[in-house]
Amino acid sequence: MKQFTTISSLTTYLEEPISKGLTIGFVPTMGALHPGHLNLVKRSKLENDLTVCSIFVNPIQFNNASDLAQYPRTLELDLKLLENIRCDVVFTPEGTEMYPEGQENTLDIDFGTLDKVMEGKFRPGHFKGVAIVVEKLLSIVKPSRAYFGKKDYQQLAIIKFMVDKTGMPVKIVPCETIREPDGLAMSSRNVRLTAAERNLAPSIYQALVAVKEQAGQQPIGILKEWAIDKIQENSAMKIEYFEIGDKETLMPVENWDHLDRSVAFIALFLGDVRLIDNIELFS
């Protein structure tokens, strides 16, 4: 596996495969890799001639300084994991490489309501930071396909929208959420849970599954209240939002007329750790 830390060395290396018309698959990550990330890399390897993974903890998408400071960083182990699954290229830039001093970080895209609801509401500026870094990375790597997890459903919607608006020639490939055997969605943040919190964590997905089972059978408002109460039965869980929204616009849905487009979303604090998860109610 080749590792690059500068944009110029990476783009020079990619010139040849691009000129030969080889397909490049790209998996952007913030590291602390787990099987959810590795699944994206494996999928990219199946579908492309060359796979590039980036590891960059993007400071401008953190709206909370302590969340950024505490974000797990395990670069040596990440490189081994990528090597083991034969990822071709890893890009590990420093902050100054991505954001040189004096260069302004702007993004001229109006996401409408997409970045105003749920994560957008509770993490102001988060999606602007995500969109800026993904746009930069896509212009550097110039992939044919880029792989994103449905675990971050709203992020995926934002990126699809951005690619659509800017006309970047890349196919965004959504990938299923990979879970622990007990249902907890894999996340780099899970390592920060205490043993007691980790034991409680599967109840998040259990509640989402129960919502899916009951969807269409009782009024949305009642079902939402039931799910919130169920999860917060344990006082360590503090829900930020539990929402049922449209799979594309993400706007809250008021009834079951479009159950075939509805997704349940949750964000909560379990102790100090903020977790998100979702379930498609139609699949």
Active-site residues: which are they? 37
53 lines the binding site for ligand AMP (CB under 6 A): no
Minimum distance from residue 55 beta carbon to ligand AMP (Å)? 8
Measured CA distances, 212 to 181, 202, 259 (Å): 19, 16, 10
Contacting residue, 93, 129, 149, 245, with ligand AMP by CB under 6 A: 149
* CA 55 – CA 85 distance, rounded (Å): 16
**177 lies in the site for ligand AMP, by CB under 6 A:** yes
Per CB under 6 A, 173 contacts ligand AMP: no
Q: Would you say 203 and 231 are in contact if contact means Cβ atoms under 8 Å apart?
A: yes
Give me the least distance between CB of 278 and ligand AMP, in Å please.
11
190 lines the binding site for ligand AMP (CB under 6 A): no
278 binds ligand AMP (CB under 6 A): no
Number of H helices, E strands in the chain: 11, 9
Residue of 1, 178, 239, 251 interacting with ligand AMP (CB under 6 A): 178
Distances (CA, A) of 249 to 79, 204, 257, 273, 283: 37, 24, 15, 27, 18
Beta carbons within 8 Å of 62's beta carbon, 6+ residues apart: 68, 71, 126, 129
Of 107 and 223, which has the nearer Cβ to ligand AMP? 107
Of the pair 12, 84, the CB lying nearest ligand AMP is at 84
44 binds ligand AMP (CB under 6 A): no
How near is the Cβ of 226 to ligand AMP at its closest, in Å?
26
Tell whether residue 203 is a contact of ligand AMP (CB under 6 A). no
Residue from 152, 197, 243, 277 in contact with ligand AMP (CB under 6 A): 152
Distance between CA 267 and CA 274 in Å, rounded?
Answer: 7
Which range touches ligand AMP (CB under 6 A), out of 1-9, 66-74, 80-88, 173-181? 173-181
Q: Cβ–Cβ contacts within 10 Å for residue 211, how many?
A: 21
Q: Dihedral angle at the C-alpha atoms of 131, 132, 136, 142, nearest 10 degrees? A: 20
Report the residue from 148, 161, 241, 242 that binds ligand AMP according to the rule CB under 6 A: 148
Question: What is the CA 225 to chain-centroid distance, rounded?
Answer: 26
**Residue partners of 13: CB distance under 8 A and separation at least 6:** 2, 4, 89
Task: Say whether residue 29 binds ligand AMP (CB under 6 A).
Answer: yes
Residues 6 or more apart whose CB falls under 8 angstroms from that of 9 comprise: none
Among 4, 10, 25, 36, binds ligand AMP (CB under 6 A): 36
Contacting residues toward ligand AMP, per CB under 6 A: 29-30, 36-37, 40, 148-149, 151-152, 175, 177-178, 185-188
